[in-house]
Structure 1
């Protein structure tokens, strides 16, 4: 039995709705190196990716550093907050 396009689209929407963003905000406290190190350790970024995200955070005030479901992002958000980095899940 094949799925109709409508059933497929419905399943895709359900998957996308469950996807959230881990947002990190700029502050005047943490250094670039500290945030880069945290993104590498906590979010498993490659160093260049962490550096790029840190620059976006600095110049735009925030950056979505990771996408995923709530269960995957919540421990990362907590770990960043524990390091004094302002982060939220949206």
Structure 2
């Protein structure tokens, strides 16, 4: 294996190790806009405008990536959103 091939293989392995995940928030017919906005501000540390924009995307598009990071960072945040009655998953 050439040096270039080894280097490219190493880069592929590193990219897999540091891959970011996303919390995907899904639309529902239960929670109000204000509730979802407040949850995003509290749990995902969004600014109010960002939370409002994400909430609008969820409403009109059906889903929105609301937080990006490592799986370990996102797991408790996603769990909190689920505890609040929102529909979310990590992808």
- TM bucket, shorter chain: 0.7 to 0.9
Aligned residues: 85
For 2:17, which of 8, 14, 18 is the aligned residue? Answer: 14
Give the RMSD, CA atoms, in angstroms: 1.6
1:15 CA displacement: 1.9
Q: What TM-score comes out, normalization by structure 1 length?
A: 0.85
Match of 1:81 in 2: 82
Unaligned runs of at least 5 residues, structure 2: none
Unaligned runs of at least 5 residues, structure 1: none
Q: What TM-score comes out, normalization by structure 2 length?
A: 0.84
Asked which structure has the greater CA Rg, the reply is 2
